[in-house]
Amino acid sequence: MKDPKTSFKHMIETIFTQESSIRFNQFNAQVAWDLGSKIRSLFAERYPDGQSKGLGLVIRVELFNGLRLLECVVGDGPVTAPANLYVFQLNLGRLDLEGGS
């Protein structure tokens, strides 16, 4: 079994690699909506009919100035409950303070 710290470090490295290689010619509310909707659809396709038990995904797209263009959740109800969204927001703030994405 993999060490959780190693897996987490690998995920962070993957995110940084993606952020440095993915660039949009333009980015506006429509692009944000299309991107978020596609991510949500891919999750729903991968885990159809309640197969997402214990899994959830929070999708947030915002500009550098903090303008939130899209925010949604998909997956198992208890995982995507409002309390977990609040934890996500706290963790996002921690990543921002630490210079993460």
* CATH superfamily to which 26-97 belongs: Haem-degrading domain (3.30.450.150)
Q: What is the pTM of this model?
A: 0.59
pLDDT, tens digit, 9 for 90 and up, residues 21-35:
878 888 888 998 998
Burial class (CB within 10 angstroms; exposed 0-12, middle 13-18, buried 19+) of 90? exposed
For residue 89, what pLDDT is reported?
66
Q: Where are the domains of the chain?
A: 26-97
| Stretches in the chain below the pLDDT threshold 50 | 95-101
CA distance linking residue 71 with residue 73, whole number of Å:
7
